[in-house]
């Protein structure tokens, strides 16, 4: 194969690789989107769990106050029974004071119980209202994430097929050029550029007269500054 055809083969390979790069970049971009959506989904789940925890805490508080009220009621009944059975005036007065104190404690705890019931009802109402939104948002995000995962799988299959085709394109590129290109493609997204105004269009470095002569002869030249491959199309834009 002539050097002219070899250079065209290299350009074709590089242009083909751009298609692969675009698809691989798209896969990376979609993965980032999935990561953001997964984070958003976890935040929604966490928020829902926090509402559930508020209801649980409110239920626990109500239960504790109810138990305390039952204990106070039982203690009051016990003291009243003792009051009925005592013949001692001193004991009678002491029991009356204890019963008065218990009634005050009952009153205080009753207010706390009423307040805790209000807080429980508010928490349950908020959870009920939020639950429908939670399910809808979580379902939408899950569907979008699954759709993106399917898109990634399809893109990966495309890339695998492209790499299979790529092998046949490598066959027309000299091994030495292919080795240089393999290094360059890991360093820049545009490893081959045109010569414009006798300069590298990648880094704008001025080329030597000899380099310009070699490029016109369709020789593979690398820019001395950025090491990109250089080519010079004719007036019609062809090699």
What CATH number matches the domain at 21-169, 1.20.1740.10, 3.40.190.10, 1.10.287.1490, 3.20.20.80?
Answer: 1.10.287.1490
Does this model's pTM top 0.75?
Answer: no
In sequence order, what are the beta bridge partners of 206? 199
- Per-residue pLDDT 10s for the chain (239 aa) are 556 688 888 888 988 998 998 999 999 999 999 999 999 999 999 999 999 999 999 999 999 999 999 999 999 999 999 988 988 999 999 999 999 999 999 999 999 999 999 999 999 999 998 888 898 999 999 999 999 999 999 999 999 999 999 999 999 888 988 988 888 888 887 888 889 999 999 999 999 999 999 888 878 888 999 888 898 876 554 54
For CA atoms 121, 122, 126, 129, give the dihedral sign: positive
Strands 192-196 and 229-231: parallel
- Domain residue extents for the chain: 21-169, 177-231
């Amino acid at each position: 194969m002539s050097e002219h055809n070899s250079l065209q083969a290299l350009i074709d390979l590089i242009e083909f690789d751009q298609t692969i790069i675009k698809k691989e970049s798209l896969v990376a971009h979609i993965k980032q989107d999935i990561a953001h959506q997964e984070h958003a989904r976890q935040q929604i789940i966490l928020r829902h769990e926090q509402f559930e925890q508020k209801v649980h805490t409110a239920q626990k508080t109500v239960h504790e106050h109810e138990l305390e009220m039952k204990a106070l009621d039982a203690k009051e009944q016990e003291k009243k029974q003792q009051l009925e059975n005592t013949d001692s005036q001193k004991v009678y007065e002491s029991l009356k004071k204890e019963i008065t104190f218990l009634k005050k404690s009952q009153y205080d705890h009753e207010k706390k119980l009423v307040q805790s019931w209000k807080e429980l009802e508010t928490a349950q109402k908020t959870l009920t209202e939020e639950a429908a939104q939670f399910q809808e948002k979580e379902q939408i995000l899950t569907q979008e994430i699954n759709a993106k995962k399917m898109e990634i799988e399809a893109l990966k299959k495309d890339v695998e097929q492209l790499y299979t085709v790529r092998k046949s394109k490598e066959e027309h590129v000299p091994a030495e050029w292919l080795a240089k290109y393999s290094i360059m493609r890991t360093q820049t997204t545009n490893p081959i550029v045109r010569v414009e105004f006798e300069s590298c269009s990648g880094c704008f470095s001025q080329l030597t007269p000899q380099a310009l002569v070699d490029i016109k002869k369709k020789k593979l030249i690398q820019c001395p500054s950025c090491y990109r491959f250089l080519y010079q199309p004719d007036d019609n834009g062809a090699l």
